[in-house]
Each structure stands twice: as structure tokens, then as C-alpha cells.
Structure 1
């Protein structure tokens, strides 16, 4: 019988596949279907129209009674969204909660020296002694701060007497030390303008006493707000990643602001305390050292040959940018390369024809640069030819990386897996050191991998592949409407509400809420195993039968999951067993899951600048343009703080 419309959606437990090009119907496997391949025994598509178009006169509508009526409009599963970043608003600190009015702060009326025997209070302001009641002049203070910072300040000053930053003589040494720290926060990737507090010293010396005291009280609260905002920002970051896009998933850190103010009050070395709030991980320290080095070299950029953005040059083609490509190789190629290809380089006359001899020169440059030597000049090769990022762009990447490190734990752990998407690499750390790394394939720009952290829990051998609903609806459904039996022929299982049904018995014109999964076996899209850290994004690490993709330099190719070039090695590491034991589990041919002996963290991260195991910062392309989104968030935050301060 036909399964008609309105079947309930059964939750898919796993997602991830690779897709390239337009789908081809009746392919040998579903993976081929997604990659646009055709089988040698592909059936001819019926010439009948099943989508409401006109039919030939000889067509028999009665031969397709269930598909003759107009199909329900094709649905669409939307990808996660990017947002317009909304910065935290500021609010006025309610000084009325802790500042006495001038009337209540005033001393008893005093005798007017010019009128013997009379009691006058003509100027209450002049009767308030700063040393006796320094907060009397806070009533005029207007300072804005993030809501949690404002609340902490109100609580602290309501519960504690005295001041933190000024005394009867003006600014204290503690205040001057804190100001110096805030002026230098660009060294840890923050913007000094967001914590700037004007030193009123010069002003207060030239005004009357009442105005002087008001200026000092304004400074007192501004300073507390700036220091507390900095303390919070340097611990957890200025940006809430979850407001950037749905591709971020972080529980934002909480900072004990009440405790921070109490420590600040008691601290004998405020500079040391504030500097101790900066992340102390070796990764952050390496980024900080790199930032200092880059700033010191500002204005001393090395020479580079500019190649037009978007250039793509393949062997046999003609392109005017070829002259710049060869000029860059002359500049950046090794001495050995230039000796080996000296005749070609010497005779080249800036012609646009990409001849075989020039292709060999480019291949040699690619190989010595760690790229695939295919002679195709694309984004990766151009990046190497131009010497990578400029000093300025490196600085911006470092600042983004520092901010993102603040979202992660201060200590990543002694054992963890770190997947850096722009590097297309997974790193296994154990006993506080990197033991190995391997190439990975991550989500394409249209199917981006999320940025989050979790814990590795399971290894599944001979896995099923649950076809994601997004693939079923967005990519397969048009073809299944034309050929409903395709999934049956290829051995895929289809079910609705947990009840297995034949793909041929599903009316794909009216139904799309169907679970589809591929049984374990040769050609399974997940290969022989997957490593699971259950999460709401259905992302995990897994094997793949498509090994050729690991040869590519740009490996953002999947539907979001992380494909491992050596999955058995990773599985053995996370299970704490040998690769031979992993092989034995696979050899059973049975689908089964095994819990890891001990859970440990996995960071599915996105860093365009990050230190390697030797502490050397490496730079990568922003494949998802997330650094650009971060820049917008930075600007929105700076604008909000400047407008409301």
C-alpha cells in the first residue's frame, strides 16, 4: 500500500555525509548518488512527467495512478543561521543605593563667622568633610556598565564602607597601577578603549573643593566598572559566541564579580591580580608572545607579489596572473627549486600560457610548501605564493583566537582530542603532550561543522548510517519522487514512526518524514567505525570509504561530521587498546557499540591561528568566514560600550 502524507517525523540519531555536484538518479550506492555518479547499469529515466508538465500523446496516465496527481511542493530543511550580533546593553549604576545625600552627610549646622550668635547652613556642600564622609559627592555620579557589573558594584558599595581607588589626597597608588594594566590590555587581545578611565589629577588641582570631590567620586565608580568589566572580559571573553550564529554552542562562563571586588579591596598588588585573570594556558601564552612579536614588527612587512583574489589556474589554460605566479615562485621558492628549474625560470617572458614546463615549476613549489603537487593554482597555493597572511591580518587572527580560547576551559586537560577545522586536522593529546595528529574532512561552507566541546563516550563498530533529514529532503526527495524504488534496490532501510516499510510503498510526492539508514557493510558512508560524543548537532568522528579526499589541501567537503584519515589509530587511542584489537572488533561484522574506559574532552574548534606542539603559531584560511563574523561582533560591542559609557 502507499504511505500517504502527514506521517510523523521520527528523530534521526545521526547525520553526516559528503556531497559533490548535482545528484544522479539510479546510482550504484547512495554515496554515489550524493556525489553525482551513475552506475553502469543505470536505468533510463521514464519520459513521463510526474510533476505536472505536459505528457506525450502516447503516455498512459493510468500506468502511474499514485504519481499522476500534482506532488506536494518540495519542502526544505534550513541550515543554521548567522545573526546580527547584539552586544550586551549597559545600564546606569544605581548610586542611590550606596551614596548618602548631601543633606544627610552634612555635619551639624555651624556658626556663621560673620554673624555672631546666629546659626546658618547657607552652603551644605562646604560643610561635608571628604575624610569624614567621602561618598557624599557620589549622588551626581553617572556611570554605565553591563548589568551584572553594575549589580556587583551596587552590592559591594552598599555592603562596604570606604573607597577602592581614591582618598583625600586624590588617586591612590592602587588606582595608578590598575590604570597602567588597563592601558596595556591590547597585549592580551582586548581593546584598551573599552576600559579607558580618565585620570582627573590635573583637573582636580584647578577646581574648587566640591567639584574636586565630585570628580574623584566619578573616577571611583568609573574605575570599579572598568576593572570589573575587564576582569569579566579577560576570563570569559567580550563576545557571547551563541549570538554570532547557530553554529556555536557554548555555555558562557560565569565570573564571580562579587568575589573579585573583595579581592581587589584586599589586594596589595593590584597589577599582579589583574594580570592573573588572563588565561594561563600554554596555548594562550604562545598567542600572546606572537602578538607582541607582530606588534613590534609593525610597519616592516616583507615584500610580496600580489596575485588577484579568486585566481584559479589549471594546466593548459591561459591566464594573465601566471606572470605573478612565477614572480612569486622566484621570490619564495627554495634555492634548490630555482636551481632545478633555472632554465625555465630564466627563459620565461611573462606570457599567459600555462605550459607543461611551467606546470612542473608550480608542482615543485607546491610539494616543498606541503601542498598537493597537482599544478592547479588555487586558494591554497596562492596563499603560499603570497607568503601567507600579512602582519596586520595575523594580528587580527591572533585577537580572534585569544577571544575564542577564553570560551574554552583554562586548562584543556591532560588528555583530549582537538579538532581544528580551518587546519583540517585532528590532534590527540595524552599525558599533557600531542601524541599524533591526522588529516580530517570537515563540513563544507554550506554544511558547516559546529564549534563546541563535549566528551568522547563511545566507539561504534560496523555502524549504520542514518541519512540526515536535510539530505533526504533537500537533495534526495526530487529523485525519489521520480524513482521510489531506488533505496530498496540499494539495500537501504526506510521506516516511518519506527515501522519499516519499503521505499517503493512510500508516496514521496506527499511524504518526506521518513527515516533512511544504510546497513553496515562495504561502501557504508561511515566506513568501519565512528567515534561518538553524543550532542544535539549529531556530529561525530568517523571512517569513510572515500579516502581520496584526504589528499586535497582544502578539505571542507562533508555535511558537517569529521572524517578521519586514520580512524583505527584514533579509535585505538581513545579506547586505550591496539589497532589490532580494533581490527578484531570490526572483523565480527556486527554492529556494536563499546563505551570508552574513561570519558575525556573533545574540542570541535575553529581557529585560524593556533600554536602547534612546538609552540609555533600557524595560520589558516577562514573557510567559513567566521573571523569576519567575529570582527562584526567586536565592532558591535565596542560601539555599544562607547555609545553608552
Structure 2
């Protein structure tokens, strides 16, 4: 057979990134490769170098192979916070006199100048804005621009009236001081009441202080409005694992609305998300802040503890003590003899194993008797009081990146919970276990729309798997994919994997035809996105039995894909089975597109509104916390 060499550089057509365990070099099938099935290995003939079309069917041993490439995912960045800039308040002072005169003498020629009537208006004859020449206030760029635009087109004041600080200003200050109830930092919006500092009788000094207060209040209020609606940070600057178009907040309208509002406090509070999930987080934050976090004595099992049946480990005493403290009355009654007879020994005896298994099952863990990371976390009562508050603050920040209303129908995937939830008519209909990306192959955080379900799918092998995991094998045995029945092509031209010189080429399209061993199983649910992430079936069911399920290459595996497919297609599971039974690869569009939120929340309410807490499997809360800290320092002139 004539052998071909190719060095084509063609972008890999990626149909998705799914999770597989690391593979041995000599696996007999790709499924064995993906499962790490050593029993199926068999020796292969070595292959190296390139093949000469004209002179020989054997590779030239002198031809060096190109060094193995590596495909890497996004990294985490040192967060660059939004810079503040000075508000050009002197322009308001220089233009106030002429604008006022023009409005009096030629009102028909000054349509762009508006007067806010009511107690917030200052006596035009006093010209208080003439005292803005010395005002010094910094604010985020969008806020500064909105303030400059507002005061250039409105004569009146918003926060100062003829008596000084207005009641509206005091109401707004009270709302800003309570920003912590919405997970924001009140220090970001703190403005000093100038009335308390005015001890002199100099009218000019008083006017200057009031004008400084006027602009400071507008800056604080607009900063709050912007933070409440879109969040304090831009998640895309943290890492490429976030994919959100940052919201644009209409600050011009906001300041006008505030000026006209009869209840400024209600207006400001309403800028925060109003969906049920956010409100549950807010209520939980208030509850935790109202109690003393140190009241309850904690029994902690040492982090990193691993105890298997038959082991001897001194931490076993803390394990049993924690079960005594946190186990249900029924569990303690069922195992009362074991609990009564235990004397603090380190031997992990069978009766203690059964006690631990019962506690694991009671807490939604796999009842295997192995005291590992998940069990230790539950035994220790989960997160500390302060850690829970931090997780709530992070969760409330992240909720601001999502739509204010999540919609009546949506799928919500929460990666740290390893769960997918289907909502319809605003209520959770069901949840199911999922497998998400490993820490080395993280699932992204983004939102999209579910569009189609593909039955009996092809698996387009992701470039990361080809390059990082398969290429070393293919350089030894280029016939590997041919034997497995995989399709390979370069530049749209299908060819045998044996005919490809893998020592110089890695940009090749590889796909697995539908079948019982297909890595995507019987179906996939697609919401086309630039990350090639979707929900799908899998032949590897064993992973759903684990508590920690960050195990894939990035896509989301469903424990019950037929149930999810039936829900999104508005059909029965029997109808789904009929679609699969054709054995043919085909797609069915959903009757109507609706949102899917591929999210990352370490604190989130369940369907009953009770907030649950989860491990930060990717350390994203840590990076987000650093971004919030960088923003705080930028706003307060630190660092």
C-alpha cells in the first residue's frame, strides 16, 4: 500500500470535550484507553519517523519526530481592578451661572437643561453649584461619565436642598449602609454627612462642603446601582474559564430615576437580583450574621484523613464523636449498642464501619465505609461559620452575572454540587447526578440556550485528548484508530490513520461512529458554544457512584440522559427510546429554545429554599475572593 505523509495544519473540528480517565499506552480499544483497562492491553509494533512515498514503505530511522505538543486550558490571572478617575466637577461650576441665566431669559433655547422640581432643588439665586469648583471625587469611569452628563443637563441638585442634606440623601445613606445584607461592602458606598462637621458660620465653606457631599452621594449611589446589577468584578478577567458579556447598566437613567423617586431606599434595593434563588441566599446571609458562629462546639476530623475498613487510625475517635453530635436520633438508636460500647480505640472494626456507612447514607454520600474527603467534610459539620458567609457573598456576586430573572424554564448545572436541575413553570421538576470536568480539564462557567438533542451521536474527539493523550500512542502505532473503527481526516479528506505521519502531524479530525462503545453513549443535548461543552450519556456509569465527580474532560455527563432529553423535547422517555432504536445518527430540535446555566456555586438553595454548601473543587472562590480584594483596594487607594 502506498503510504502518505502529511504535515497539514488544520483546525480540529471539536464536537465536545468529555471526561475520561488517564489511559495506558497499550490499550486495545479506545474505550479501554479511556477506561484505563490494563487487562485488554496487547503489545504493538513500534513506529517512528516519517514514511517515504517514493522509495520505501518503512520509516526513515534518521528522520526525527517533532516534539510532542501540548494543549492547555485557560489559566487564572492576577485580577486587574477597574480604575477610578476624577469627576470633572469644575465644569458644573463654570457652566452653572450661564445655564441658569439662559434658562430664565430664553427658556425655549435651553431644551437640554432640565430642572428637578421639589425639595431637592436649590434656590437658583444662590447658585450653589458655583461652589463645585473645588469638589474632588473619584469614581469608576462609567459612573464618572454618567455624573458629568447628568449635571451638565440638569440644573437642580439631587441630595441637597435649602436646608442642607435632604431627607432623600439620608434615606439613600441608610440604604447604602445596609449594603452588607446584599453581600456588598458598605465601605464602598460610605459618604460622610457634612452637617456634623459644619462648626463654622462661613456660608461659603458650608456651600463647598455641601457640593462635595452632593457629588460624593451621586458617585456612591451610582456605584451601588452598578455593583448591584452586574457585580463588582468582571469574571472574564479572572480566567478564560468564565464566559460572560459584562452587563451594561444605564446609569444615566438611574440618576434621573433616583432624583425623581419618592422612595429612594426601595429603588436601590430593587437593583439587586430578585429571583427566588438570590433571595434565599440573602436570607441565609442574614441568618448567619444574626447568630454567634462560635456558639456551637465543633468536632473536627483532621483534613486529609483517610480511613478504610480494617485500618488503625487515631482519628477514629473524632469520627465517632462527630457522629454522636450530628447523627440523627434514628441513626443513634439503630446503632446505640455500638456507640455505647465504643471506648475511643483506633481500630476500625466492622461494627464501626457499619455505623459510618449508615451516617454516610443519611447524608447523601456513598455508603462504602471509607472515611475520605467528603465524609470528613460532613462529619466536621461542613464549612465553618465564617466560611459559609464567604461562600454566600461569592454566590451573591455570581448571581449578578446571570439574568435578573432566570426564566420559567431552564436547566441549571451546578458543578460543585455535581448536579443538574430541570426547572419548568418556575419550579424544580427533578435533579440528577452529573460528572463534570476534572481540575485539569475544568468545565466553564457560562450560560447558553438548549437547541437540539442528537441521538446515536458521533463523538468528535477533542484536540486536547488527541494531542495530550492519544498522540504518544499513535506515534508508536499509527494503525491504532483504524483497528478501532475510528474515522480520521485531514483538511476534510478522509484517510486511514495508518496513512498519517503522526510524528509530524497532530491537526487531524478524529471521530467515533455511533455504537455501544461510543464515548457519548446514546444521546447528547446540545447548546452550541465556543467551549464545545454539552450534556451527554456515557458508557462509564461507575463514576456516578462517587461523591466527588469532577472527572471528565469538561463536558457534563448525565446519570439519566433519557429523562433530561425527554424533558427538553417535551416528550416521554418511551419516545426517546424510539428515537434511539432507529440506530441512526439524527438530531431533533427542541420545540422552543430555553436557557441552560452551566454554573459554579459553592452555596446554593435547594428546591425547598434551604442553602446547601459544597466544596470549591476548582478553587474558584479563592480566585474570586482575590478579585474582590483587588477591587476594594483600587476603590480605597490601597496597594
TM norm structure 2: 0.92
Residue 166 of structure 2 is matched in structure 1 by 172
Distance 1:171 1:486, change over 3 A: same
How far apart are 1:256 and its partner, in Å? 0.8
Distance 1:49 1:454, change over 3 A: closer
2:405 to 391, 408, 411: 411
Q: Does the CA-based 8 Å contact 2:24-2:38 persist in structure 1?
A: yes
Matches within 5 A, 1:201-280: 201-206=195-200, 208-280=202-274
Residue 399 of structure 1 is matched in structure 2 by 393
Q: Partners of 1:632 and 1:356 in 2: how far apart?
A: 45
Q: Partners of 1:441 and 1:106 in 2: how far apart?
A: 66
Q: Does structure 1 residue 303 correspond to structure 2 residue 304?
A: no
Q: Does the CA-based 8 Å contact 1:496-1:514 persist in structure 2?
A: yes
Q: Partners of 2:527 and 2:100 in 1: how far apart?
A: 65
1:384 to 378, 381, 394: 378
Residue 30 of structure 2 is matched in structure 1 by 30
Q: Partners of 1:607 and 1:600 in 2: how far apart?
A: 21
* Cα deviation 1:360-403 (Å, max 9, x = unaligned): 22111111111111111111101110111222111111111111
How far apart are 1:159 and its partner, in Å? 0.6
How far apart are 1:264 and its partner, in Å? 1.3
Residue 548 of structure 2 is matched in structure 1 by 554
Q: Partners of 1:65 and 1:351 in 2: how far apart?
A: 65
1:93 to 83, 87, 91: 87
Q: Does structure 1 residue 157 correspond to structure 2 residue 158?
A: no
Select the structure of larger CA radius of gyration.
1
| Deviating more after overlay: 203-212 vs 73-82 | 203-212
Residue 353 of structure 2 is matched in structure 1 by 359
Q: Partners of 2:342 and 2:610 in 1: how far apart?
A: 37
2:320 to 326, 344, 361: 326
* Cα deviation 1:513-569 (Å, max 9, x = unaligned): 111111000110000000000000000000111111111111111101011111111
Distance 1:488 1:147, change over 3 A: same
Q: Does structure 1 residue 639 correspond to structure 2 residue 638?
A: no
Residue 76 of structure 2 is matched in structure 1 by 82
1:616 to 610, 620, 631: 610
What secondary structure is seen at the aligned counterpart in 2 of 1:571?
Answer: helix
| Deviating more after overlay: 163-172 vs 313-322 | 313-322
Q: Does the CA-based 8 Å contact 2:322-2:380 persist in structure 1?
A: yes
Residue 337 of structure 1 is matched in structure 2 by 331
Distance 1:215 1:567, change over 3 A: same
Q: Partners of 1:93 and 1:69 in 2: how far apart?
A: 66
Q: Does structure 1 residue 466 correspond to structure 2 residue 467?
A: no
| Deviating more after overlay: 331-340 vs 588-597 | 331-340
How far apart are 1:105 and its partner, in Å? 11
How far apart are 1:348 and its partner, in Å? 3.2
Q: Does the CA-based 8 Å contact 2:436-2:552 persist in structure 1?
A: yes
TM norm structure 1: 0.91
Q: Does the CA-based 8 Å contact 1:440-1:555 persist in structure 2?
A: yes
Q: State the aligned residue count.
A: 613
What secondary structure is seen at the aligned counterpart in 1 of 2:78?
Answer: coil
Distance 1:246 1:105, change over 3 A: closer
Q: Partners of 2:96 and 2:569 in 1: how far apart?
A: 70
Query: Would you identify which runs of 4 or more consecutive aligned residues in structure 1 move more than 6 Å?
Result: 101-107
What secondary structure is seen at the aligned counterpart in 2 of 1:286?
Answer: helix
| Deviating more after overlay: 276-285 vs 132-141 | 276-285
Identify unmatched segments of 5+ residues in structure 1: 53-61, 108-128
Q: Does the CA-based 8 Å contact 2:19-2:555 persist in structure 1?
A: no
Q: Does structure 1 residue 566 correspond to structure 2 residue 560?
A: yes
Q: Partners of 1:312 and 1:7 in 2: how far apart?
A: 50
What secondary structure is seen at the aligned counterpart in 1 of 2:126?
Answer: coil
Over aligned residue pairs, what C-alpha RMSD do you find? 2.3
Q: Partners of 1:159 and 1:172 in 2: how far apart?
A: 21
* Cα deviation 1:482-520 (Å, max 9, x = unaligned): 111111111111111111111111111111111111100
Q: Does structure 1 residue 144 correspond to structure 2 residue 170?
A: no
| Deviating more after overlay: 217-226 vs 389-398 | 389-398
What secondary structure is seen at the aligned counterpart in 2 of 1:403?
Answer: helix
Q: Does structure 1 residue 282 correspond to structure 2 residue 281?
A: no
Q: Does structure 1 residue 594 correspond to structure 2 residue 593?
A: no
How far apart are 1:39 and its partner, in Å? 4.7
Q: Does the CA-based 8 Å contact 1:454-1:533 persist in structure 2?
A: yes
